[in-house]
Amino acid sequence: MIITDTHTHLYSEAFEEDREEVIQRALDLGIERFFIPAIDSTYIKSMFELEAKYPKNIFLMMGLHPTHVKENFKDELEHVERMLSERKFYAVGEIGIDLYWDKTFLKQQQEAFVYQIRLAKSYGLPIVIHCRESFDEIFEVLEREKSEDLFGIFHCFTGTLEQAHKALSYNMKLGIGGVATFKNGKIDQFLNQIPLEHIVLETDSPYLAPVPYRGKRNESAYIMEVLKKLEVIYNMDQTHIAKVTTANSKSVFGI
């Protein structure tokens, strides 16, 4: 049983003291594929070092995270474009709009989102969307940019059934992680109405640890709790869910 974590920040400072042990715990459970989203240029060195150490397991994305869209965002976008031109990445992400922390740079976030969507299209890559308190704004951009070459993952999906269907209409898979295990997460109430072929697994570690680890540092090994929850939601065995969601990840990332 090969399990894929489609979204994990393994280069994070949160893993500074035990990164190798964290990765080994996941590998021991059959979690063999880790897709690594970018944040901004300051993390690139750490991402490359991680890839060099685990070349068969680590797959990198490139992008500018919406919460890191600041006054210098055009310089950061130039860096993203340069990196994409120089070497292989498997997605443009994570990109999008985040209105939870700060709305100061909304216009710039929208501009950066559109710019990176178009970069992804030019390289034939999927996008990985970060959406926090910004479904309307995200959908507005996707509606303008929709095309056959727009596809990817709606990372950490937390919306309604209606919003799920809308996301799927833009050729997106839904990234499902710890939120599915939360009592107030709500997505567990309708997720079985979304065919498993539209789902990929993720942790977003070190963030959003699933029950029973909620509130603690998340890690890729905890994707097993998400798998257990989906077994109940879909009434399917974990091996089948792992097989389908890994196949889904391959269809998105091309590997």
pLDDT in tens, 158-199: 999 999 999 999 999 999 999 999 988 899 999 999 999 999
Distance CA 225, CA 60 (A): 24
Count of other CB atoms within 10 angstroms of residue 254: 12
Exposed e or buried b for every residue in 124-150, given b needs 16+ CB within 10 A? ebbbbbbbbebbebbbebbeebeeeeb
Bridge partners of 62, per DSSP, are 92
Bridge partners of 235, per DSSP, are none
pLDDT, position 101? 83
Which residue type is seen at 195? P
Tell me which DSSP letter residue 4 carries: E
Distance CA 168, CA 154 (A): 9
Q: Which helix (H) or strand (E) holds 169?
A: helix 161-169
Distance CA 152, CA 144 (A): 16
pLDDT, position 85? 98
Model pLDDT for residues 33-48, shown as the tens digit of each residue? 999 999 999 999 999 9
pLDDT, position 185? 85
pLDDT, position 215? 95
Model pLDDT for residues 46-102, shown as the tens digit of each residue? 999 999 999 999 999 999 999 999 999 999 999 999 999 999 999 999 999 999 988
Residue that has been written with the tokens 């474009």 in this structure: 81
Distance CA 164, CA 109 (A): 22
Where does the pLDDT of residue 9 fall: very low under 50, low under 70, confident under 90, or very high at 90 and above? very high
What's the mean pLDDT in 212-226? 98
Query: Residue 128 pLDDT more than 90?
Result: yes
**How far does the chain reach from its first CA to its final CA, in angstroms?**
17
CA 191 to each of CA 83, 159, 164, 205, 247: distance values in angstroms, whole numbers, following the listed order: 36, 11, 9, 22, 19
What does the DSSP assignment read for 179-221?
GGGSTT--GGGTGGGS-GGGEEE---BTSSPPTTSTTS---GG
